[in-house]
Amino acid sequence: MEAKNVAISILLGVATFTVYVAVFSYINLINKILLGKPTAIGLVGIVVIVAFLYGVTVSHVLRLINIEPKH
């Protein structure tokens, strides 16, 4: 169980890091694409992906060190 949690945390951490690097490397292109009615929704999509990836990663890491809040 511990090993599984470690593996999940590492995987999520790598995925979060990749999204961060991609956003910061292509910020001008992303800003250009996001402006305008049909594509502004892409911004919301990026936020959902990052919030979930990073949020779940932090939860997993806290569970590994036994300090995840229960509420």
Partner 1 sequence: MLEGVPAIANEVIKFIDINTSSVLVLIILGFIGGTLSGFLGSGGAFILTPGMMSLGVPGILAVGSNLTHKFGKALVGARKHGELGNIDAKLGLSMIIGLLSGVQAAVYINEMIFKSLGKAGSDLYISIIFVSVLSVLALFILKDVRKTKLGNVKETARTKIAERFQKIRIPPIINFKVANTTVSLWVVLFIGLATGYLAGTIGVGGFIGVPAMIYMLGVPTTIAAGTELFLAVFSGAFGAFSYALNGFVDIRLVLLLYLGSIVGVQVGAIATKIVNGTQIRLVLAIVIGLSALNRAIAIPTYLSDLNYLTINSNLAYLLSVASSFLLFTGAISGVIIIFISMKQSQMMKYTTIGRTLP
Q: Does 6 interact with partner 1 (rule: CB under 8 A)?
A: no
Figure out which of the listed residues 4, 24, 65, 66 binds partner 1, where binding follows CB under 8 A: 24
Residues in binding contact with partner 1, number by CB under 8 A: 31
**What residues contact residue 12 under an 8 Å CB cut-off, 6+ apart?**
53, 56, 57, 60
Residues that bind partner 1 (CB under 8 A): 20, 23-24, 27-28, 30-32, 34-37, 40-41, 43-44, 46-48, 50-52, 54-55, 58-59, 62, 67-69, 71
